[in-house]
Amino acid sequence: MTAFDIVTSGFLISALRSATPLTFALVGETLTQRTGVINLGLEGQLLVGAMCAYAMTAAWGNPWLGLVAGAIAGMALSAVHAALVVGTRANQFASGLAVWMLGFGLSAYYGSSLVGRKIESFESIVPKSVADLPVLGSVIAGLTPTVVLAVLIVPVSALWLWRTRTGLRWRAVGESPEDARAAGANPSLIRIQAILLGGLLSGLGGAALSVDYTRTWAEGMSAGRGLVAVGLVIVARWNPWWTFPAALLFGGAEALSLRLQTADANVSAHLLHCLPYVASLAILTLTYVRGRVSSAPAGLRAVMDR
Amino acid sequence: MHLSLRHISKRFGATLANDDVSLDIPPGRVLALLGENGAGKSTLMKILYGMIRPDTGDVVIDGRPVRLPSPRAAMDLGIGMVFQRFSLIPALTVRENLALANPRTPWIVGSGARRVPGLLDRLRDIAPDVDPDARVSTLPVGQIQQVELAKVLNLETRLLILDEPSAVLSDAEAERLWSLVREIAARGIGVVLITHKLADVRACADDVAVMRRGKLVGRAEAADTDAPALLRMLVGDDTVATVSAEPVRRNALPRIWIRDVSADGPSGTIRDIDLRIAPGEVLGIAGVAGNGQDTLADACAGVTALRQGEVTVDGETLFAPRLEPRNHGRVAYLPEQPIRNAVGPDLSLAVNLSLRCLRSLPWMVDRKQMAKTAADLMERFDVRPPEPGRRAETLSGGNLQKLVAARELSGSPALVVACYPTMGLDVTASAAMYARLFAMAREGCAVLWISEDLDDLLRYAHRIAVLFRGRIAGVCDAGPASRTRIGAWMTGAEAFA
Amino acid sequence: MKSAFVSSFAHSAAGRLLLSTAAFITLAAAFFLLIGRSPWEMLSLLAQAAVGDGFALTESLVRATPILLCALATALPARLGLISVGAEGQLYFGALVGTGFVLSATAVAGPLQLPSMLLAGMAGGAAWALVPTLLRTRLQINETISTLLINYVAALLVTWVVYGPWKNPASQGWPATAEFPENARLATYFDSRVHAGLWIGMAIAVVAHMILTRTRWGLGLDVLRSNPRAGVLAGLRFDRHALAVMLLGGALAGLAGIAETSTVQGRLQASFSNGAGFSGFLVAWLARNHCLRIVPMAFLVGALLAAGDGMQMLAQVPSSVTLVAQGLLFVAVLGTNGMLDRGAR
């Protein structure tokens, strides 16, 4: 297999599909962190979203219902983070881990009966004949509704953050809650809203993961995607526009590891699975080496640097 | 809008911050509210701005009492306040900051809030040269204050409160501010100017009200009063302990040589600083805040690593790049904001007092001995309450300042670095702090004293060096005659001429 | 006066524990009601499954052992204000290095094999802590995020070796290394899987407590945690202390890993930790990084988790019910402490 084959024979679409769940989570976490709150519970929200979406799809046979259920479940779990962090001012990292543990437990508990069940999921959004088009045919043919949604959510969230009064207030709260309050915003309320929106998007990401990407349910199936997302927010410099390339980076690493596995049996699959994490950590390190973290919201820097 | 405060009283614990204060604020006039630190003028204005609720008394607008449960409510009534600590968000642009505070901002604001109509009208009036798309963090402090003013005026403000507005400004910027205040008042807006500077009163006030210890002790038209009369009202009949600086032997070898020092700190950089301080000399550092003062202090105290140059004491290098800092008690450091820069807030007073000798403690720490030493020190420096087991964060600002002084000045340092050492202290405690600092100088110590209060610097220091954009703009002997030169250096007018 | 007494009790260690427990029981009861079971029945079954008989009790102790060590591995960096969640990865990597040592170093046999294996495991854990520490001290990269990310790498490395190069050909498809030789195992007690790692962990907890509270070094950690700038005035170097606490913590987690692998499981297997690193993190928070309080808390959480299999049999619920309970416990503790601290401000 040549490098050219890697790109054309579906590499791009598998990177895109792998990046889809992450994009939702990443955009959500970016918006949350913009208000000065970090949420490690993302991992648990992905799991709960994935489990609920899978259960709903299995029960009703409609993947759209699954997406809705996943989004609601993710938001519901993130309410725990909101209550702990905004309500009782608990440590953000610890609270996120608590939400993760809870989400892991709940999804494992309710998901135990779902293991091995099959579902009907999304079809490609275009007719099969498109796949025969040269170069990009296979990419377009592989597009499912969740991929399209993920691609759309990026500009929407960017416009939301940069061009609306709400986005302006969110950014102000992330920079300085006191000054934002003086300007008439309610920092606590805004942070709760941002955490819940992050929860909704990560739940959607979980749904995309189980219902569309893997089309199975397994305990702990998000495998660190949520934590990777928290790291990639920094790489994307808290800018929604940059979340998509950052997510593609992870997706590309995962797709590459799957490609290499099928191409060359000598490289261990388990070793290759390290690739996305190592790549994320490496690019995160590179971001810091180049000193690009100065764009962090000031309120968030206070949390992360202590 | 004619606003009156009627019989306002407010108590915080044991102190009566406002004691039956009644004050009229007519429209279109500038009222200077004078008072020392802790006289109760800030409390009174915070009541007026809805941040604090009074125990008794009313705020009356045009004859009707009003309720002020929050700043929002005050803003809705047309009361606006500009704080000493600006409330603009540095990472956002001028437009974004204005849009954030403007209640008429539509939901779609456009990129960089460029689509909000009418946003810049007031700013154009008062500060046409401010770039509306610049981030606030890149603006000089005078312009930041102008944006802040525009922000408040955008809210249809009819009464404007300015909290110590000239404290952070250079003389030229202050003059611009004074003419602005006159213009604003000319439009029929009432202005309250909280200050402790007589210069502000002379320059732009119509009326003067003076507060002392929570009471309103005098009110007059500015034109009818002279400086001595005001001063008497300000400090009352208290005889304030005056401190006299000692003459200094200039021919002596320098005790401290800050030699060609450059350093980068979180709040600024300094470049090519070269200063020599003789034994017993008090060298004042003047300059507008944010020109590298903190970094200079940190560098001289060994807190920030030097990038270039060295700091020597009696000819021996203490701090230099790539050199493990060797202090051994020879540099005493009184940084600004001790709670952030000098103490562990959740640690006991005993631990905080033994911080400097932590590394020479025995491996197994004797807590009893530590508490005993601490109790002695706190008695000597009048730190209250003198409980060694108490956590530092529970002390008042003034007592924290004394706590740090107790730790730093109780040894025998060769250099004392003092940043705004009297901030948060009342008149008597300030005098005591100065007395202590200058006593150190009399014993042969070199003192590097950073202050924003030019009057105090001119009165007490031997020489004054001015920091401008991280460099020494000039050094001169202290004395009333030097005021204009220093002012020019502070604003960079002849920085490198 | 009465309310002052109530408030000071609530803020004491015992008061916090009591309120957290009450909050946990309330949340757990709500969950049991949600799944249609009687809270009282479920809680008593839980207690029975955790400590009901000798076997349950010893299994709880076995489960508590790595959690205890991992909690200490979390508490040590926390004394400097570092929030490390890396115990999980350090545990895996410690087990990996320790196992590698035993598999390769046939020369070191006899009485020296056990201590040198333990040391190798500790070195492995410490090495795994080195990367996040350097990222933090050199580049200011948040240690919580970096430790979480490389946890996965360590776990996957273990999976790789047990499926690949170190796989025991005699184990017929089951991915695991060869069995540890008899003298590379810790002593066991009570005719059960309870092993000497428990005593080692408890001894380390006591020693760590003494060092942290009585010595100059411990005081230095307090100063640097409270205010790094004050630490500089005291002549303390944050970087060196960070390196020390992180590596020591890593060594303890590595010890947990190699002890569990060599003695409880007898061979290196994939996903053997059962989340002990994360449970340890929870325990450290429960004990508010107090090394002595960590011991009972580790037993509490260990017992809760060990009850999972028993619950499957006794109450016919999936064993992950205890994972839910663990999450609820963490939420209860954070909520209670957050509210108490907020009231104190």
In three-state form (DSSP H/G/I as H, E/B as E, the rest C), the secondary structure along A116-132 is CCCCCCCCCCCCHHHHH
Task: For residue A202, name the pLDDT band (cuts at 50, 70, 90).
Answer: very high
Shortest alpha-carbon distance between residue B322 and chain A (Å): 21
Q: Is the peptide bond before B385 cis (omega within 30 degrees of 0)?
A: yes
Which residues in chain B touch residue C216, judged by CB atoms under 8 angstroms apart?
358-359, 361-365
As a whole number, mean pLDDT of residues B461-470 equals 89
What are the tokens at B467? 């920091």
Between residues A181 and A84, the one the model is more confident about: A84
A268, pLDDT greater than 90 = no
Q: Return the pLDDT at C276.
A: 95
Suggest the residue from C226, C237, C288 to mutate for an interface test with chain B (most B CBs closer than 10 A): C226
Which pLDDT tens digit goes with each residue over B379-394? Answer: 988 888 888 999 998 8
C80, pLDDT greater than 80 = yes
Of A44, A91, A101, the CB nearest to C326: A101
Query: Rounded to two decimals, what is the model's pTM?
Result: 0.89
Nearest to A25 by CA among A292, A271, A260, A244: A244
* Ordered structural domains, chain B, with CATH: 3-235 (3.40.50.300), 256-491 (3.40.50.300)
Q: Return the pLDDT at C221.
A: 96
Neighbours of C, requiring at least 3 CB pairs below 8 Å, are A, B
B201, pLDDT greater than 90 = no
Type of residue found at A201: L
Contact by Cβ (8 Å): C344, C12:
no
CB contact under 8 A, A91 and C334: yes
Q: Return the pLDDT at B252.
A: 66
Give the DSSP per-residue string, C29-58. HHHHHHTT--HHHHHHHHHHHHHSSHHHHH
Which pLDDT tens digit goes with each residue over A118-148? Answer: 888 787 777 777 767 766 777 777 788 999 9
Between residues B329 and A94, the one the model is more confident about: A94
Shortest alpha-carbon distance between residue B263 and chain A (Å): 19
Contact by Cβ (8 Å): A139, A229:
no
**Full domain range(s) for residue A82:** 3-305
Which pLDDT tens digit goes with each residue over B309-343? Answer: 999 998 889 898 988 777 777 899 999 888 888 99
A9, pLDDT greater than 60 = no
Task: For residue B246, name the pLDDT band (cuts at 50, 70, 90).
Answer: low
Average pLDDT, chain B: 85
Q: Which residues contact B74 (CB under 8 A, 6 or more apart)?
A: B48, B49, B50, B68, B81
Provide the sign of the torsion angle of the four alpha carbons C164, C169, C173, C174, taken in this order. negative
Domain-wise residue ranges, chain C: 66-295
ipTM: 0.91
Q: Return the pLDDT at B427.
A: 67
* Strand-strand pairing, B207-212 and B215-221: antiparallel
Shortest alpha-carbon distance between residue A227 and chain C (Å): 7
C295, pLDDT greater than 80 = yes
C110, pLDDT greater than 80 = no
Which pLDDT tens digit goes with each residue over C258-273? Answer: 999 999 998 999 989 9
Suggest the residue from A179, A237, A293 to mutate for an interface test with chain B (most B CBs closer than 10 A): A179
As a whole number, mean pLDDT of residues A153-171 equals 95
The span from the CA of A65 to the CA of A259, in Å, is 32
Q: Return the pLDDT at A34.
A: 95
CA distances from B310 to A130, B26, B265, C204 (A): 72, 58, 16, 45
Contact by Cβ (8 Å): B109, B115:
yes
Provide the number of structural domains found in chain A: 1
Strand, helix or coil for residue A41: coil
Interface of C with B in 173-232 (CB under 8 A): 214-217, 219-220, 222-223, 226-227, 229-230, 232
As a whole number, mean pLDDT of residues B93-98 equals 94
CB contact under 8 A, A105 and C324: yes
As a whole number, mean pLDDT of residues B66-84 equals 87
